[in-house]
Chain A
Amino acid sequence: MSEPVVRVENLRKTFVVPERDAGMAQALKSLIRRKTRQVHAVEGISFELQPGEVVGFLGPNGAGKTTTLKMLSGLLYPTSGEALVLGHVPSKRQRELLRRITLVMGNRNQLQWDLPALDSFELNRAIYRIPHQQFREMRDELVELLDVGDLVRKPVRNLSLGERMKVEFVGALLHRPQVLFLDEPTIGLDVTMQKRIRSFVAEYNLRHGATVLLTSHYMADVEALCKRVIVIHHGRILFDGPLSALGDTFAAYKTIGVVLEDGATNLESYGDVIHRDGDLVTLRVPKAETSRIAARLLSEQQVLDLTIEEPPIEDVIELVFAQEA
């Protein structure tokens, strides 16, 4: 196996936040004696990313995803532990590293608001010291991939959210980064725009062999892009492995879809009926009993069709998040 692109070892981040009760008396009291509390955002996580991997980084709000991404991109100093990205310590913010990574955050604008995106691209060329020829080639490639030909000539403030996100991607990738940290890149976008961003990330990964660490609350993003997922909750890693194995680990059930001759038949004795649509009935059954229940259904009922499925990834994630770390 080649050298990992990202190596994280027992990484921790603790924030010290001030707190006080409401009211003027408490406000005055806080002037004299300021109360603080420690928030353990990330609690000793470890993982590695190999070159070219696209990994989903999942967790509920406040789980520590964004804090981790910010530590890996050099925005935050870790409280303890070690992080290496492309062999560099991110918190040192060395130029050699910053030229090879990017962090894209959904709903965050890094382009000049009043000017066409082309002007911001030009500025990025100067900042990243990209030779003119390579800059033009990369810019044109990204503009074509994201189909933003005319948009880059409009002032950024006149673009819709989805259009802005696409030109943000162009700006963030002009320096051809090898590591992409994507924090909710499709948040707030419509379904078509989400698909476009997804296919773009996949294509960029394919063309440039980039390593991608992606957080998203849209499971469609994760399913489309990531073979591997890391699940974080309360600052700790709960799962790190293939997406396909997530259900095996966390979901204690499967779903059986049966099409009956008579859709009104009562199937409560076989499992939980979670959906009924005409003659199609969907049952939730304990994983260990799936084959036995399926056999019973086939022998005892007039079954026209039967399918056994893993639970939807959204449901599995919901189960994961419901667990205590």
Chain B
Amino acid sequence: MSVAPYPEVGRVRSFLDFYATMIRTAISSQVQYRVAHYFYMLGMVAEPVIYIVVWTTIAKAHGGSVNGITAGQFAAYYIVWTLVRNMNVVFGAPYWEWRIREGELSGQLLRPLHPINYDIGWFAGSKFVNVVLWIPIGAALYAVFHPTLSPTVLQGVVFFFAIWGAYFLRTFIQSTIGMLNFWTTRGAAVFDLYMTAELLLSGRLVPLKLMPGWVQMISNFFPFKWTFFFPIEALVGNLSTRSLLLGLAAQIGWTIGMVVLFKFAWRAAIKRFSAVGG
């Protein structure tokens, strides 16, 4: 005699339950390696500190500003950058190859939940640890570089949603590119191309306002600026209320587009899965 399967908990309730449990699990796991994690975060600060030093030096040499951006505004941009960068850490495209090779994907496919949910939940959980660990780093950068930063309440609220919007958008961009690993083991080249494009068109390397007009124009056709430039500008810039809300809407629109693209790529990719890793 076979025992009937368990009754299921409601769909919405169980979905929230999964994310809450996954976030708790991720936090527990991150806390296990808090020291190593902290050193990793400190390492990530090197990049923006170099940018701050370079740009504030240039600004001072040019009478206090470059293209209207003052030394204090550069400092604000790159200090907020450090938090946005941490929020933008997602399950990277190249790791899909590792996931396939090591058999992790096989284990996930056996469960009645799309694997992307594990990534979203896990990395969302790690953000809570990252933000706590970031606070002293941000405070130290603030004390050293004296940023010009006085956001309004609305800017603060939009920034909160924008960093999560950036997180979701970047997750789906990276996962969609990650699908290439189902076709080729040489996906790294495409990923390098993506990283270069992101570096130039997102505001990660330089505030987009400093880029030539044609680069700024091209950046409008890609989702990258909504993952770096917009969240940072939402807090440190002078965007109008309309621009702030339109920015959030653009993030949502790009995210929906990437979700659709990811689903399409996933359906094609999974048929090619050969479960070689176990």
Seen from chain A, the residues whose Cβ lies within 8 Å of a Cβ on chain B are 15, 51-52, 70, 73-77, 93, 95, 98-103, 105, 108, 110, 112, 114-115, 119-120, 122-131, 134, 155, 175-176, 178, 208-211
Known: A77-B271, A178-B5. A115 touches B107 (CB 8 A): no
- The 26 sampled A-B contact pairs (Cβ below 8 Å) are A52-B1, A73-B110, A74-B110, A75-B275, A98-B112, A99-B5, A99-B6, A101-B110, A102-B110, A103-B110, A105-B106, A112-B25, A119-B25, A122-B25, A126-B17, A127-B113, A129-B6, A129-B9, A130-B6, A131-B9, A134-B6, A155-B32, A176-B3, A176-B6, A209-B2, A209-B3
For B8, list chain A residues within 8 Å (CB). 99, 129
- Mostly, the B contact residues are loop
Name the interface size band of chain B.
20 to 34
Shortest Cβ gap from B270 to chain A (Å): 8
> Whose C-beta in chain A lies nearest to the C-beta of B103?
A108
Cα of A114 to Cα of B2 in the assembled complex, Å: 35
List the count of A-B residue pairs having beta carbons below 8 Å apart.
101
User: How would residues 191 to 229 of chain B score, 1 for a CB under 8 Å from any chain A CB and 0 otherwise?
Assistant: 000000000000000000000000000000000000000
> Whose C-beta in chain A lies nearest to the C-beta of B271?
A77
Known: A99-B5, A209-B1, A210-B2. A129 touches B109 (CB 8 A): no
For B275, list chain A residues within 8 Å (CB). 70, 75-76
Top 10 closest A-B pairs, CB basis?
Answer: A98-B112, A209-B2, A129-B14, A126-B21, A95-B112, A126-B18, A110-B107, A129-B9, A75-B275, A129-B8
Does B29 belong to the interface (CB within 8 Å)?
yes
Contact A75 B110 (CB under 8 A): yes
Does B243 belong to the interface (CB within 8 Å)?
no
For B111, list chain A residues within 8 Å (CB). 98, 124, 127-128
For B106, list chain A residues within 8 Å (CB). 70, 75, 105, 108
For B87, list chain A residues within 8 Å (CB). none
Cα of A115 to Cα of B27 in the assembled complex, Å: 11
Cα of A123 to Cα of B20 in the assembled complex, Å: 10
Cα of A259 to Cα of B5 in the assembled complex, Å: 56
User: How would residues 6 to 33 of chain B score, 1 for a CB under 8 Å from any chain A CB and 0 otherwise?
Assistant: 1111000010011011100100110011
> Whose C-beta in chain B lies nearest to the C-beta of A172?
B110
Cα of A94 to Cα of B229 in the assembled complex, Å: 40
Shortest Cβ gap from B92 to chain A (Å): 19
Contact B2 A208 (CB under 8 A): yes
